[in-house]
Amino acid sequence: MQSELSKSVQYLKSIGPKRAESFSKIGINTIQDLLYYFPSKYLDRTNILSSIRIVQYVVDGYVGEVTILGKVVDTETHYYNKKQIFKVRMKDATGFFECVWFQGAKFFKDLFHEGDYFAVSAKPVITKYGHLQFAHPDFDRLVEAESKEFLNTGKIIPFYRLPKQLKETNIGDFSLRRIISSAVELYSGKIEETLPKNILNEHALSGLNDTIHSLHSPNNFDELSKARHRMKFEEIFYFECMVALRKKLFATKSVGLSFKTKSAPLKQFLSSLPFELTASQLKVLSEIRKDLESSSPMNRLLQGDVGSGKTIVALISIIIAVTNGYQCAFMAPTEILADQHFKRISKMLEPLGFKTEILIGGQKKSERDVILANIASGKINLVIGTHALIEENVKFKSLGMVVIDEQHRFGVLQRSQLSKKGTIPNVLVMTATPIPRTLSMTLYGDLDVSTIDEMPKNRKPIKTILRGENKLPAIFDFVKKKASEGYQSFIVYPLVEESEKLELKAAVKHFEELQNEHLKELRVALIHGRMKWQEKENIMNEFAAGKFDVLVSTTVIEVGIDIPNANIIIINDAHRFGLSQLHQLRGRVGRGNQQAYCILVTKDEWAARSSQFNFTEEFFSPAQIEKNKASIRLNAMVKTNNGFELSEIDFKLRGPGNIFGTEQSGLPEFKHINIVEDVQLIQQAKDCAFGIINSDPDLIRENNLVVKNTLKEKYSSKVLLSHIA
Ligand code: ADP
Ligand code: MG
C-alpha cells in the first residue's frame, strides 16, 4: 500500500492518539481507511421542501416522506397516559412545524437544543390543531454556517454514520464531516487506481481519485452518481473475479472423484418408488450423473419449487456415491427437517444395505460418540443432520458427496466447511428458488444450475383463498367438515412478540381457544419454537400418523416438512408474512392427491382491498408498492402457485438492503451494489471479470497487474490466490 495513505489517522488534524483509538475501534486505522468511510446519505436542495410546500402536499393527499430544514425554537415534554411525550418545535423561513416522539423522550431530550439546526425527514401529517407534524423522524444536525451555505449555494452535504465509539471522544456529526473533508482534500489525489486503464476507458468509468473525492464532496448529483457507478462496478467486478478464479481453480487444478453409475441398485431403488420420476427430474438427474462421472468435482445448485421432488434426486445421487464406496453427508436447516429426512431416507435406503445415521444438536453424548466413531470408521454410509455436521469433531473416512437442503438458509461459509471434510467431494445444494433465475446465474457464477420446472403429475393445484377475520367461524366449520372426511389441517400463527416468552404465551392462548371452543370436537395439538426437538419430533410423528386432526403452530413447520395427509393450511395474520415464507408454508400441503387448500386470514379491510388489485406495471411503481406491499403479497398468493413468478414479484417488492441483508441468503453483503436495481451493471462487470480471468488466468499482462495487486491486497483473505501468487 502507498506509504502516505497507510499512515495512522492519528497524524491528521484534530485527531490525536485518543481519537485514533476510537477510530480504530470501528475499523478505521489508516488514512486510506478513513477515505473509504463513505457518507451514508446526502442532503441536497432538490430533496428539501419548505414547510408551506409540505402543508400543501398533505392537503393534496400526498403521503410520502419529505425532508425539511429548520431551527429549533423550543422543546417540551409532557405526559399522556403516564407516558412521556417529547416535542420539538422548529421553524424554517416559511413557517413552524413540530417533531414528536412517543417513546424515548429521555434520549431525544438531550439531542435538541434551542437554536440548533436540523434536517428532518419523515412522513408529514397535519394534527387536529392544524400543526404540521413529523412523528419519529430521521434527523441530522447541521451547524448554522453549513445550513446557510447550503441554502445559499445548494452545496450537497454528506452525512456519515456516527458510531458511539466516536461520540465517546467528543466527535460530533459536524467535526466528523470536517475531519473527513480535510483528509479528502489532502489525500484523495494520492490513491492508486485499482482498475485497469483499458477497463476504465471501455466502460467510461471515472478514475479512483476523482471518485473518492466526489463521494465525499460532490458538486452535483451527476458527479455523485458517476462516482457511485464506478464503485459499484469495482465492487461487483472483483466479486466476479473471485467467482471466476474459484471456478477455474476447481476446473483445472483439482481432480475430483469420478464415479461409475451401477445400474442394479438404482433400478432396485426406482422400482421401490410408488411413482415415476417426472421428465424434469430425469433431465436434472442426467446432468448430475455427468458431473459425478467426470473427474472434476460437482458444484451444482438444484432449484425447484416447493414440492417438486428434489429429495429423490438427491437420493439417487447419494446412491451413486455410496455404491462407489464413498460416504455422503446431507445437511438440513432444522432438526425437525433433518429428523424427517432421516426417517424417510433410512427406510428407503435400507433395502440397498445402506447404513444411515442422524446427527443433530440435542443428542446424548454417549449416543453421539458412537455415531461419530462410526462415521470416522466408515461404517456409516450416509449421515443426515443439521449444522451439527460441520462441527470440528465430525470426521469422515471418505466423504464423497455433500447435499445441502434449503441452501438459502445456510451461509456460504457453512457450505464450504462441510465440503472441506472430504478431499474434493461433490456438492449438490438445493433450494426452492428464493431469488430469480437470472440473478442466481450471475451471483452464483461458480455453481452450475439445474432446474426442476415441473410438478409431479398427480398434484392438483392448491386452492388459495383470502378471507377476513370475520370469516373465521366459517373457516372452522370447513376444517371440521373436512376432518370428518379424513383431512388434517395446519393452523399457523405468525411470530409477533419479540420476546420468546410472550410468543409462547400467545401460541398457547390460541391453542387453548381452538381446543376448548372453536374446534372442541377435534383432536388438536400444538407445536412451537421453544419446544425441544424431541418434543417437536413426537408431535410431528403423531400428527403424521393421524393422531390429531389439527396442528397449531408458530412458524416451525415452515421448511421442508412433508405430511401428505395434511391438506389444509390456515395462515393467520397472513399480511405479516413475507412472500417466500407464505409460499413455503403453503408448500406444506398439496403433497398427496387430494385437493388441498390454503386459507390466508387477514384483517377484514385488507381482505376486501387486496382482492381488487391487478398486476399491471404501474402497480409496481414505488408509491404503490409502499402503500400496498401486504396487499400485493396476499393477492399474488391467490393468483399464482408458481414459485418462480412469486420470487419475481417478491423481488420487485423488497427494497434494497433488506432483501439479502441477512446471512441466511448465503450472499455476501454488498456495500455499493444494489442487486435489485443494478442487474445490468452486474452483467457487464461479470462479463468483464470473466473475460480477464479466462484469457489471462495468472494475471500477468501489463494491464491486469493492477487486478492482481488489488486482489492480493484487498481480497486475499477471501479467495485462494495461491496459483497467482
Ligand atoms: P421438495 O422439492 O419441496 O423438497 P420433496 O422432495 O419433499 O419436495 O417431494 C415432495 C413430495 O413429492 C414427496 O412426498 C415425494 O415423495 C413426492 N414426489 C417426488 N417426486 C415425485 C414424482 N415424480 N411423482 C409423484 N410424487 C413425487
Ligand atoms: Mg425439500
Q: Is there an atom of ligand 1 within 6 Å of 411 CB?
A: no
Report CA(431)–ligand 1 centroid distance (Å). Answer: 14
* Nearest of 618, 562, 627 to residue 592 by alpha carbon: 562
309 within ligand 1 shell (Cβ under 6 A) = yes
Tell me the best of 312, 344, 459 to mutate to test the pocket of ligand 1, counting ligand atoms within 8 Å of each CB and taking the most. 312
304 lines ligand 1 (CB under 6 A): yes
Distance CA 87, CA 254 (A): 66
Give the nearest ligand 1 atom to 452 CA: 2
User: Whose C-alpha lies nearest to ligand 1, atom 15?
Assistant: 309
Quick check: helix, strand or coil at residue 719? coil
> Quick one: cell of 545?
400418523
Three-state DSSP class for 468?
strand
- In CATH terms, 463-640 corresponds, of 3.40.50.12780, 2.30.110.10, 1.10.1040.10, 3.40.50.300, to 3.40.50.300
Which residue(s) pair with 608 in the sheet?
none
Ligand 2 centroid from CA 338, angstroms: 10
- At residue 621, φ and ψ (nearest 5 deg) are -65, 150
Nearest-angstrom CA–CA distance, 626 and 620:
9
Measured distance CA(673)–CA(682) in Å, rounded = 8
- CA-CA distance, 622 to 635, in Å (whole number)? 18
Number of C-beta neighbours around residue 325 at 10 A: 12
User: How many residues are present in the chain?
Assistant: 725
Strand ranges across the sheet with 426-431: 356-359, 382-385, 327-331, 399-404, 426-431, 299-304, 448-452
Quick one: cell of 581? 415464507
Buried b (16+ CB within 10 A) or exposed e, 585-610: bbbbbbbbebebbbbbbbbeebbebb
Distances (CA, A) of 424 to 243, 256, 289, 295, 300: 18, 6, 17, 10, 14
Whose alpha carbon is nearest atom 26 of ligand 1? 456
Q: Rounded to the nearest whole angstrom, what is the distance from the C-alpha of residue 313 to the centroid of ligand 1?
A: 9
> Phi and psi dihedrals of 498, rounded to 5?
-75, -35
- Pocket probe for ligand 1: among 269, 311, 330, the residue whose CB has the most ligand atoms within 8 Å is 311
**What is the C-alpha to C-alpha distance for residues 681 and 231, in angstroms, rounded to an integer?**
11
**Measuring from atom 5 of ligand 1, which residue has the nearest CA?**
309
- The pLDDT assigned to 660 comes to 34
Tell me the β-bridge partners of 468.
Answer: 602
User: Where do you find CATH 3.40.50.300 in the chain?
Assistant: 263-293+309-431, 463-640
CA distance 309 to 480: 30
Architecture of domain 45-155: Beta Barrel (2.40)
For 462, which DSSP code?
A: P
Ligand 1 centroid to residue 358 C-alpha, Å: 21
Q: What is the largest distance, in Å, between two alpha-carbon atoms of the chain?
A: 85
- 264 burial level (CB within 10 Å; 0-12, 13-18, 19+): exposed
- For 263-293+309-431, give the CATH class: alpha beta
Pull the grid cell for residue 608.
Answer: 376486501
Delimiting residues of CATH 2.40.50.140 domain(s) in the chain: 45-155
**Which of 273, 275, 283 gets mutated to test ligand 1 (max ligand atoms within 8 A of its CB)?**
275
Q: Which phi and psi angles does 619 have, rounded to 5°?
A: -60, -30
Cell of 130: 392544524
Distance CA 306, CA 302 (A): 12
Query: Does the C-beta of 272 come closer than 6 Å to ligand 1?
Result: no
- Please state, in angstroms and rounded to a whole number, the distance separating the CA atoms of residues 212 and 158: 13
Q: Residue by residue, what is the 3-state secondary structure of 158-199? A: EECCCCHHHHCCCCCHHHHHHHHHHHHHHHHHHCCCCCCHHH
Instruction: Check: CB of residue 163 under 8 Å from CB of residue 26.
Output: yes
What are phi and psi for residue 136, nearest 5 degrees? Answer: 45, 55
Which of these, 371, 270, 362, lies nearest to 327 by C-alpha position? Answer: 371
Host H or E run for residue 165: helix 164-167
C-beta 591 within 6 A of ligand 1: yes
Estimate the crossing angle of helix 263-272 against helix 335-349, to 10 degrees: 110
Q: Taking the chain (725 residues) in consecutive chunks of 10 residues, what is each chunk's mean pLDDT?
A: 82 90 93 93 80 89 82 91 89 94 84 91 89 89 83 80 90 89 94 95 96 93 93 92 78 72 92 93 95 87 87 96 95 86 93 95 90 96 91 89 77 60 79 62 69 85 92 94 93 73 78 93 89 82 92 72 86 87 87 88 78 56 64 87 80 51 46 76 89 92 93 64 34
- Give pLDDT, residue 724: 34
Grid cell 452535483 in the structure block, residue: 220
- Give the C-alpha separation, 419 to 437, whole Å: 25
pLDDT of 662 reads 33
Neighbours of ion ligand 2 (CB under 5 A): 560
Asked if residue 302 lies in contact with residue 430, where contact means CB atoms within 8 angstroms, the answer is: yes
Residue whose C-alpha is closest to residue 643's, from 468, 360, 451: 451
Cα-Cα-Cα-Cα dihedral sign, residues 349, 350, 356, 357: positive
Q: Quick one: cell of 13?
A: 488534524
